[in-house]
């Protein structure tokens, strides 16, 4: 495909802009990683929107709740494990609530907290959506990787995530 060739040529050209600071292998890795970070979430989001009429973020919310004891969780904990802000979660929960998949109620133990509770309809929905989503993940990510590669990927991802956490902590309290 002509578009593909153009893309490859241009990517090399883009890469050159970092030649002073990144070596050849790092450039290649960076280009591949940027493309992966853009394409993989997009393709998984598209799969869920097409097959289950929900975003990946909404799926994460419902999946987390369906595994939680009592199918419920505090909003702030939900936000942590879905890696989203509380504001984003609050907006998304409103949508899910309107669709009848979730309801919210103040936490009896601590009035400041809100409990998100998965409804029966929501449970059914995740249950129906899960097989197709997991199949897509298997097909796209794991089917083409060896066990060794999967282990290496995990290690590498953790290494980078730890660095992000470390820098985040340092940044939020510079003293």
Partner DNA sequence: CAAGATTGATCAGTCAATCTTG
Partner DNA sequence: CAAGATTGACTGATCAATCTTG
Question: How many residues does this entry show for the chain?
Answer: 175
Helices 120-137 and 56-67 sit at what angle, rounded to 10 degrees? 120
Q: Identify which range of 73-81, 120-128, 150-158, 163-171 contacts DNA by CB under 7 A.
A: 73-81
**Is residue 108 a contact point for a second copy (CB under 8 A)?**
no
Distance CA 113, CA 77 (A): 10
Q: Between residues 27 and 93, which has the closer beta carbon with respect to DNA?
A: 93
Distance CA 51, CA 59 (A): 12
According to CB under 8 A, which one of 53, 88, 113, 151 is a site residue for a second copy? 151
Task: Name the minimum Å distance from CB 117 to DNA.
Answer: 11
According to CB under 8 A, which one of 35, 53, 120, 128 is a site residue for a second copy? 35
Task: Name the minimum Å distance from CB 103 to a second copy.
Answer: 20
CB-based burial, 158-167: b 16+ in 10 Å, e otherwise = eeeeeeeeee
* Site pattern 25..44 for DNA (x: CB under 7 A): -----------------x--
The three-class DSSP label of residue 156 is: helix
Burial class (CB in 10 A: 0-12, 13-18, 19+), 121: exposed
**Is residue 8 a contact point for DNA (CB under 7 A)?**
no
Q: Identify which range of 80-88, 91-99, 104-112, 116-124 contacts a second copy by CB under 8 A.
A: 80-88
């Amino acid at each position: 495909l002509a578009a593909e060739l153009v893309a490859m040529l241009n990517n090399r050209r883009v890469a050159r802009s970092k030649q002073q600071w990144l070596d050849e292998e790092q450039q290649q890795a960076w280009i591949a990683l940027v493309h992966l970070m853009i394409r993989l979430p997009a393709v998984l989001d598209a799969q869920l929107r097409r097959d289950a009429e929900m975003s990946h973020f909404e799926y994460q919310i419902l999946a987390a709740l369906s595994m939680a004891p009592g199918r419920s969780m505090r909003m702030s904990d939900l936000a942590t494990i879905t890696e989203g802000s509380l504001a984003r979660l609050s907006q998304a929960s409103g949508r899910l609530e309107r669709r009848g998949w979730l309801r919210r109620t103040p936490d009896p133990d601590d009035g400041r907290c809100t409990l998100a509770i998965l409804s029966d309809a929501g449970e059914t929905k995740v249950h129906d959506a899960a097989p197709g989503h997991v199949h897509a993940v298997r097909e796209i990510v794991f089917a083409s990787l060896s066990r060794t590669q999967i282990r290496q990927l995990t290690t590498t991802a953790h290494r980078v995530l730890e660095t992000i956490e470390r820098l985040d902590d340092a940044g939020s309290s510079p003293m």
